[in-house]
Structure formats: C-alpha cells, structure tokens
C-alpha cells in the first residue's frame, strides 16, 4: 500500500521466501507481504537485500527468488489510470482529476499489487453489470457478498450504488489489508466488512445475501457451484472464466433451479448473471 513518503508505484522489488511466518516488516519502503501456498512474497519500493537477509536469518527462511520490475509490468502492461463506467469514476490515489468526473459517483483506489484495479476484463464486466443490477434492474438488493474481493473495488462500488450490507472476503491477507484501506479511503466502513477466509475450506452463510459476486479462477468456481449451500442467495454474478470453460461450469450446478438473466462478454472473458428460481416455480 502507499504510505508517505511514497505517493505512487514505480519500480517493485520482490522477494519470494520459502516460509510465511515472518517477523513484522517495519520499513517505510515496504508495500506489503503476500502470502501464498505457505510462502511469503515481500514487495518494496526500493532494493532491500540486507533487510530481507536479516528477516531470513531471524525466521530461518530462504529467498527462493527475487526480482525487480516496473509497476506497469506487474499490472500486465496496463497503465493504471482513472476510468469511468456510466455513473462511477474510479481514480487511483496518485491522480487528481480536477472536475473531469463531476456528477459521477467516485471511488479512490490504492490498487497496490493486488488484483482489482478495474483494468482486467473480468473486473470491468462485474463493475458494469453491478451498476446495471443495482441502478437499473429494479431488483431489491440490500446485501452483497463479494467472494475474492482483491482490492475491494466491487464491494466499494456496491456501497456507492447504495447497498448497506456488504461482506468482502479474500484468503490473501494483503488483499484484505488493501481492501480495508480502500474501504476507509472511500468512507464505506459502515457498509463494507472485509473478512479473511479461505473459500476452499469455508463458505460464508450465503443465505444472508441477496447478491453473491464471484470473480474467481475456474477450479474454485467449480468447487463453489457444486456445493448446494452456495445456492441459497437470490442472485449471482459469476466471472473469471472463458468461453471454453462454460460447459464444465454449467454441468456442475443445479441449472434447473437457476434463471440466466445475462451473459456478458469482454475480450475472451465471460460473466453470468443468474437468479435462483423461487421454490415451486
């Protein structure tokens, strides 16, 4: 995340360690620590070989590899900048748009090194469909569950579109930290609760939510949609899959109980907006 003296991301210095139980990293150039498969990936704004060597010797860990790269390369070549949907403008913390988006709902975002800047096709599909559902569909959506929230962008957008009860979950502790910070930056604390949770071993109480958003990788989507407990909400927005994956996904869920409302396309990516049929229909 960005804290003074840093006001944007330029070069990233990345250290991949073979353990996840590290001492707290107290350094002004530390962007965050990403935990994945029992490993820790440390991100800094500047080279930190000595500091990371110290961390390794106190924790008994080793550097598996290290790299440095431009932030734009980390973001798959995308220049992260402001953008807008029909009614919502999303602005990275380092930009100032000086009236360019007057009349729009606004989100200020620190995307850090987490998925969910708004520039991936699946995030944009979800954002635009969310806007459609919450602003134009006439569906009564009072609660939203965002599974795999990343930066928190979709959860915060739901709050900006007027939803009062939103739970955002992610298994990556750094994603949760970033999402919490973005929730604070956008003053949505009263509406959005961020929770660290691994969807492979636990799913939240889905029946409490009107809309479930799941922009996830295919295997996790398959696990979720195969679980009958997953189908206790009213509506679903699923993304993170490409056209070739649709038949397998479709075969894994109780399609007779589900109405297809919308199928979104962007590049090779797809989105499904689904509604659970009322009992007896």
Ligand X SMILES: C[S@@+](CC[C@H](N)C(=O)[O-])C[C@H]1O[C@@H](n2cnc3c(N)ncnc32)[C@H](O)[C@@H]1O
Q: Interface residues with ligand X (CB under 6 A)?
A: 115-116, 120, 122-123, 126, 148-150, 153-154, 169-172, 175, 198-200, 215-216, 220, 240
- Helices 153-160 and 173-185 cross at an angle (nearest 10°) of 30
Backbone φ and ψ for 154, nearest 5 degrees, come out as -70, -35
Q: How far is the CB of 254 from ligand X (least distance, A)?
A: 22
Q: How far is the CB of 169 from ligand X (least distance, A)?
A: 6
Nearer to ligand X, 51 or 89 (CB): 89
Q: How far is the CB of 103 from ligand X (least distance, A)?
A: 25
Among candidate residues 156, 179, 135, 10, the one with its CA nearest the CA of residue 90: 156
Cα torsion 218, 259, 146, 196: sign: negative
- Could you count the other beta carbons within 10 Å of the beta carbon of residue 16? 16
Nearer to ligand X, 133 or 216 (CB): 216
Q: How far is the CB of 114 from ligand X (least distance, A)?
A: 6
CA 59 to chain CA centroid, Å, is 30
Nearer to ligand X, 129 or 149 (CB): 149
Tokens 């939240």, residue located: 204
- Tokens representing residue 119 in the block: 């520039």
Q: How far is the CB of 154 from ligand X (least distance, A)?
A: 5
Nearer to ligand X, 39 or 59 (CB): 39
Nearer to ligand X, 92 or 116 (CB): 116
Cα torsion 245, 251, 257, 259: sign: positive
Cα(163)–Cα(155) distance, rounded to whole angstroms?
9
- Select the residue whose beta carbon is closest to ligand X and give its number: 148
């Amino acid at each position: 995340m960005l804290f003074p003296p840093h006001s944007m991301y330029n070069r990233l210095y990345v250290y991949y360690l073979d353990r996840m139980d590290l001492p707290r990293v107290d350094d002004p150039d530390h962007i965050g620590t990403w935990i994945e498969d029992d490993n820790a990936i440390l991100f800094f704004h500047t080279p930190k070989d000595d500091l990371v060597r110290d961390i390794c010797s106190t924790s008994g860990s080793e550097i598996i590899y290290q790299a440095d790269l431009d932030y734009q390369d980390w973001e798959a070549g995308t220049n992260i900048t402001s953008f807008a949907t029909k009614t919502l403008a999303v602005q990275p913390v380092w930009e100032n748009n000086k009236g360019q988006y007057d009349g729009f709902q606004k989100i200020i975002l620190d995307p850090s090194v987490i998925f969910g800047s708004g520039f991936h096709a699946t995030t944009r599909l979800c954002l635009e469909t969310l806007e459609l559902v919450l602003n134009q569909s006439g569906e009564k959506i009072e609660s939203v569950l965002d599974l795999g929230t990343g930066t928190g962008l979709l959860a915060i957008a739901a709050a900006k579109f007027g939803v009062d009860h939103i739970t955002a979950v992610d298994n990556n502790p750094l994603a949760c930290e970033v999402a919490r910070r973005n929730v604070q930056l956008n003053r949505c604390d009263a509406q959005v609760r961020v929770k660290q949770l691994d969807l492979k071993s636990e799913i939240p109480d889905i029946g409490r939510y009107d809309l479930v958003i799941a922009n996830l990788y295919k295997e996790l989507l398959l696990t979720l949609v195969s679980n009958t407990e997953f189908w206790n909400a009213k509506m679903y927005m699923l993304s993170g899959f490409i056209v070739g994956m649709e038949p397998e996904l479709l075969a894994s869920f109780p399609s007779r109980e589900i109405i297809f409302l919308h199928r979104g396309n962007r590049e090779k990516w797809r989105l499904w907006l689904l509604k659970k049929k009322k009992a007896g229909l």
